[in-house]
């Protein structure tokens, strides 16, 4: 049975990578992974926001990609070295930083695809997801982080498990199983998953293949590809059978697939 997070829809899923920041908004100082970026994506018609989380000095799970503020603010300070209030002050004119719990309350019509970047954020991410398990997908490159966040949601009383996508360890296991043409190992790698969120390639190695797509779909698992910003390539990937596109250009994706919904 498909997880409610992956509600049935026509056409591909568009996952707004860190929200959406237009050229004009960027010129005004708005940055990704902010309330303004999430709001902009939703206004385009996107229903799923892809974001990342770290933990502040005082234990709040904030939505931000990097472990420090250098990329977005030109400030090398680590996220875990400042409080939530200090982060809010620094992002006040950059779009507004929010916690995962705040984002889920502020944007009740949106689903959030959350990459748990550090283990210290796993407990808080799971607790924040627990009241909204149908609207949250928890993932991480780290299997430890992903499983810890899911377990935290369970302990916090979630009525169902949040949706989930695996990290690199499981993806490597799956690719090995497919290379061996082992149905048993393939099924084992895909067990308990709702989506595979993968790049087309990792260095010289192709990750997305017709065989992977078939195996995932045979086990009821969607395949989402990141990060796709070219409209022509979006159309090609959807024609191949990809279910979702993680993109910085939600505007192009919505334009390319106007009948989705």
DSSP 8-state code for residue 130: T
Question: CATH for 12-163?
Answer: 3.20.20.190
User: Which run of H or E residues covers position 86?
Assistant: helix 84-90
Dihedral angle at the C-alpha atoms of 40, 59, 160, 244, nearest 10 degrees? 30
CA distance 68 to 215: 38
Give the closest residue to 78 by CA, choosing from 89, 92, 64: 64
The one-digit pLDDT tens for each residue of the chain (261 residues) are 899 999 888 889 999 999 999 999 999 999 999 999 999 999 999 999 999 999 999 999 999 999 999 999 999 999 999 999 999 999 999 999 999 999 999 999 999 999 999 999 999 999 999 999 999 999 999 999 999 999 999 999 999 999 999 999 999 999 999 999 999 999 999 999 999 999 999 999 999 999 999 999 999 999 999 999 999 999 999 999 999 999 999 999 999 998 664
Percentage with pLDDT > 90 across the chain:
96
The residue ranges of every structural domain in the chain are 12-163, 166-254
10 Å Cβ neighbour count for 26?
12
The pTM for the full model equals 0.96
Confidence at residue 261, expressed as pLDDT on a 0 to 100 scale: 46
């Amino acid at each position: 049975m498909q997880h409610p997070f992956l509600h049935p829809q026509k056409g591909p899923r568009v996952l707004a990578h860190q929200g959406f920041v237009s050229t004009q908004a960027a010129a005004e100082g708005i940055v990704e992974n902010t309330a303004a970026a999430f709001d902009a994506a939703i206004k385009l018609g996107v229903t799923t926001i892809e974001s990342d989380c770290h933990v502040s000095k005082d234990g709040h799970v904030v939505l931000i990609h990097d472990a420090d503020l250098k990329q977005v603010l030109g400030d090398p300070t680590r996220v875990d070295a400042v409080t939530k209030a200090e982060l809010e002050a620094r992002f006040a004119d950059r779009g507004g930083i929010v916690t995962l719990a705040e984002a889920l309350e502020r944007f009740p019509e949106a689903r959030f695809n959350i990459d748990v970047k550090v283990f210290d954020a796993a407990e808080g991410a799971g607790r924040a997801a627990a009241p909204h398990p149908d609207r949250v997908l928890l993932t991480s490159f780290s299997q430890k982080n992903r499983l810890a966040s899911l377990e935290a949601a369970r302990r916090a009383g979630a009525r169902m498990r949040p949706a989930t996508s695996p990290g690199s360890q499981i993806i490597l296991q799956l690719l090995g199983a497919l290379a061996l043409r082992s149905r048993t190992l393939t099924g084992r790698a895909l067990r308990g998953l709702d989506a595979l969120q993968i790049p087309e390639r990792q260095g010289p190695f192709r990750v997305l293949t017709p065989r992977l797509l078939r195996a995932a779909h045979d086990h009821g698992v969607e395949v989402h590809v990141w990060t796709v910003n070219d409209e022509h390539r979006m159309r090609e990937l959807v024609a191949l059978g990809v279910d979702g596109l993680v993109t910085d250009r939600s505007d192009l994706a919505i334009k390319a697939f106007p009948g989705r919904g």
